[in-house]
């Protein structure tokens, strides 16, 4: 991702763009580059960024709810967001965790009328927001943006296919191990005793991610604890033996 460095000769730099340039050029602030902006030329990127506004959402609040009119498209900059759906019986299902650099609310740019999911901030979150119609016309002007979006959609579809296969065929233990690996990828932080999943995630959340019950997840996590694979507290999990967990996830054990 190329971002023009703040130019000393330009006196008035749009504050949002300056903030964004600071964020994206500092790898510590952005774990992953924004795939949607890959190989856009700097002038196009400037225009895309200038059309966005920054939206902050506190932990526990939502960017949008399932069924709301789909009028805005988002790229997450900081924090974590979970995308959930409610079943007719009132159970919440976690479909995906969105991390920095990921887009969400894509239906807004592609003509959807309502959001199919709820986007809830799991930690304090900050995102760039575009009105759906604005993002759609930017995509028409800059086809690269549209191709990047298509890549993103294709990757999501692939992920869903894998998830579907896992749900249909894999042992629950392996699904839980995989979910934990995914969480490590998204929010892992090295601490003395191992790798901390730095997210306030409950066993109920993991149950929803793996399509199983709280009871089953609790049983599996307790077993992982007994085996010294992890240490689980309330809303806190430390992976003590990464190799054992990876072996279970990859079914090498």
Partner 1 sequence: MNAADLVNMLVSDVLRANPVTAAVFIDRRMPCVGCTFAPFETVAEVARVYGIEPAELANSLAGACVQARGSKGSHQ
Binding site for partner 1 (CB under 8 A): 181, 184-185, 188, 190, 195, 239, 242-243, 246, 250, 252
Minimum distance from residue 47 beta carbon to partner 1 (Å) = 32
Dihedrals phi, psi of 226, to nearest 5 degrees = -60, -40
Is the Cβ of residue 234 or residue 243 nearer to partner 1 in the bound state? 243
Is the Cβ of residue 52 or residue 177 nearer to partner 1 in the bound state? 177
Minimum distance from residue 184 beta carbon to partner 1 (Å) = 5
Minimum distance from residue 99 beta carbon to partner 1 (Å) = 14
Minimum distance from residue 193 beta carbon to partner 1 (Å) = 12
Is the Cβ of residue 31 or residue 157 nearer to partner 1 in the bound state? 31
| Residue 90: Cβ-neighbour burial (10 angstroms; 0-12, 13-18, 19+) | exposed
Is the Cβ of residue 128 or residue 184 nearer to partner 1 in the bound state? 184
Is the Cβ of residue 153 or residue 191 nearer to partner 1 in the bound state? 191
d(CA 73, CA 132): 5
- 120: Cβ–Cβ under 8 A, 6 or more apart, which residues? 60, 61, 62, 63, 81, 82, 84
Minimum distance from residue 38 beta carbon to partner 1 (Å) = 18
């Amino acid at each position: 991702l190329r971002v023009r460095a703040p130019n000393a000769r330009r006196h008035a730099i749009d504050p949002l763009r300056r903030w964004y340039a600071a964020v994206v050029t500092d790898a510590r602030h952005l774990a992953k580059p924004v795939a949607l902006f890959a190989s856009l030329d700097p002038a196009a990127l400037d225009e895309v960024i200038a059309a966005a506004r920054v939206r902050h959402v506190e932990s526990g609040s939502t960017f949008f709810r399932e069924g709301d009119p789909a009028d805005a498209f988002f790229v997450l900059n900081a924090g974590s967001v979970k995308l959930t759906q409610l079943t007719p019986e009132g159970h919440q299902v976690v479909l995906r965790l969105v991390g920095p650099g990921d887009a969400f609310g894509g239906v807004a740019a592609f003509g959807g009328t309502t959001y199919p999911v709820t986007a809830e901030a799991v930690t304090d979150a900050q995102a760039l927001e575009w009105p759906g119609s604005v993002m759609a016309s930017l995509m028409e002007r800059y086809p690269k943006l549209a191709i990047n979006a298509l890549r993103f959609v294709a990757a999501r579809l692939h992920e869903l296919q894998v998830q579907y296969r896992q749900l249909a065929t894999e042992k629950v233990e392996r699904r839980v191990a995989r979910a934990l690996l995914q969480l490590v990828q998204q929010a892992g932080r090295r601490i003395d005793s191992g790798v901390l999943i730095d997210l306030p995630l409950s066993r109920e959340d993991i149950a929803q991610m793996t399509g199983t019950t709280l009871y089953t997840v609790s049983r599996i996590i307790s077993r992982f604890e007994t085996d010294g694979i992890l240490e689980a507290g309330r809303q806190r999990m430390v992976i003590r033996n990464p190799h054992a967990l990876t072996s279970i996830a990859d079914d090498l054990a």
